[in-house]
A = this chain, B = another copy of it.
Amino acid sequence: MSFVADLEKHLGVSLITDPDITSTYSKDQAPFAPSSPAAAVLLARSTEEISKALAFCSERKIPVVPRGAGSGLSGGANADSQSLVISLEKMNQIIEIDPANQLAKVQAGVINLDLDTAVKEYGMAYLPDPASRDWSTLGGNVATNAGGMCCVKYGVTSHHVRALTVVLSTGEIIEIGKSTKKFVTTLDLLHLFIGSEGTLGIVTEITVNIVPRPRTPATLIATFSNITQAASASTELLKYRPSMLEIIDQTTLKAVEQWHPLGFEVAGSILLLQLDENFELGDSALATCQAHGMVDGMFSTETSDAADLIRVRKLAYPALERLGATLLDDVALPVTKIAEFVEKVEDLADKYKLMIGIFGHAGDGNMHPTIVHDHGDLEGEKRAKLAFSEIVAIAQNLGGTASGEHGIGSIKRDMVGDETSASVLNLQREIKKLFDPSGILNPGKKLP
């Protein structure tokens, strides 16, 4: 591409243009989102370098795709042959850990778990725990407003961010939010960027909350003969303020059992709950499950049991992946609608002759139906894509939404309008124009 040599000169660094390498930097983990190798990849080293690159790209109208670890599931980091990918992976320094003020400041390329491990030394924790936390970056977590298992108690990424350094498409560097715990001095520009999926600016530094490390949790596991019972139990279990509350359907359980026998009867559904305080409530929680038709269950405060008990949840997605090509969906709905949702998705599986395993964050109503079809079966793939969209429509019709934590990326842009008024869609576009007048930042993502 014509811009590469000029941009290298402008920045005084080399860009990656080898297609073997650019191709791996040009897509995330979404299976059917379009992508092609970017014209070039910049492994950014500083906020200033990103500023210079964006000013250059704005002037020349070169599309820019910002990228963390590429762990996204909605095509949000996918590029095309015209674009410059800016990877933040080398900006992986923890700038400051301040336990007394309960904050940490990091570059956006720091891996979520690396921060948690670093603050652990001080008896502190960084709480948001997306399933990708071993390799996803905090910049990516901010871009998608990532959730996780503990969010049922502690909230999603947006609840844990105090301040951001952002480079706008013009190259302008802005500081938004404040490192203090409370801040109402300006309009809340901070949250506008959280979950904006790289469409408004590139986040380069992040100040987050760290908190006293919660107790190692106690775990409850309960089996039910059907998902309606499990779902209704889960709604009531929220009163124990669980730090995890997950649900798994029979299809998924069978897939896990086939791979790693669980040591208990495959039930209609399983609930997993953790408490990181008030362990004395475990027995009441079991009683609640019993009142909703629990078949079998146990509660253990032994740390050594926890890993065993939640193994079935950890294996849910990989067990389904073993069985074929997967499409992992992500919708959020009222918790009281989970059972109805699951029934409708089961009907959909019948209609399209597909396996759909359903698991998710029951406490947040954030469900991850996972559609499985045979590798290489193009007809199956077509049906899977149709089912993927219909799952979103089912959630929307139950008062839910297209995405709870994975984001819209490129794969759900067409579905946003089904639940969003023309006014709000228009306001989104106007805000985008305000922050990115040349329209270079992650075009074709998030905003329909």
* Residues of chain A having any CB pair with chain B under 8 Å: 98, 100-102, 123, 144-145, 147, 151, 155-156, 158-159, 168, 172, 174-176, 178-192, 194-196, 199-200, 211-212, 235-236, 238-241, 277-278, 332-336, 361, 364-366, 399-408, 412, 416, 419-421, 423-424, 427-428, 430-432, 434-435, 446-447
Contacts and interface: CB of A to CB of B under 8 A. Distances in A.
16 contacts: A101-B336, A123-B239, A144-B184, A145-B188, A151-B182, A180-B399, A182-B404, A184-B403, A185-B402, A186-B416, A186-B428, A187-B200, A187-B446, A188-B196, A189-B428, A211-B241
A47 to B, nearest CB: 14
A215 to B, nearest CB: 9
B181 A192 contact: no
A438 to B, nearest CB: 16
Contacts of A179: 334, 399
Nearest to A199: B187
A332 B101 contact: no
Given A180-B400, A405-B182, A447 B187 contact: yes
Contact of A180 (B158, B189, B196, B333): B333
A421 B182 contact: no
A432 B77 CA distance: 31
Nearest to A191: B191
Contacts of A199: 187
B180 A334 contact: yes
B188 A158 contact: yes
A76 B192 CA distance: 23
A102 B334 CA distance: 9
Nearest to A402: B185
A151 B209 CA distance: 14
A430 B187 CA distance: 11
B419 A185 contact: yes
Q: At the interface, is chain A mostly helix, strand, loop or mixed? A: loop
Contacts of A192: 187-189, 191-192
Given A158-B188, A188-B195, A192-B188, A332 B430 contact: no
Given A158-B188, A172-B423, A176-B424, 12 more contacts: A174-B424, A178-B401, A179-B399, A180-B401, A181-B332, A181-B365, A181-B366, A182-B405, A184-B195, A186-B420, A188-B195, A212-B238
A107 B59 CA distance: 47
A332 B421 contact: no
A96 to B, nearest CB: 12
A43 B317 CA distance: 55
A365 B180 contact: yes
B212 A332 contact: no
Contacts of A200: 187
Given A182-B404, A419-B185, A434-B427, A100 B335 contact: yes
A404 B333 contact: no
**Quick one: which of A155, A212, A427 has the most chain B CB within 10 A?**
A427
Contacts of A144: 184
A416 B100 contact: no
A243 to B, nearest CB: 12
A420 B102 contact: no
B212 A407 contact: no
A400 B174 CA distance: 18
A341 B406 CA distance: 43
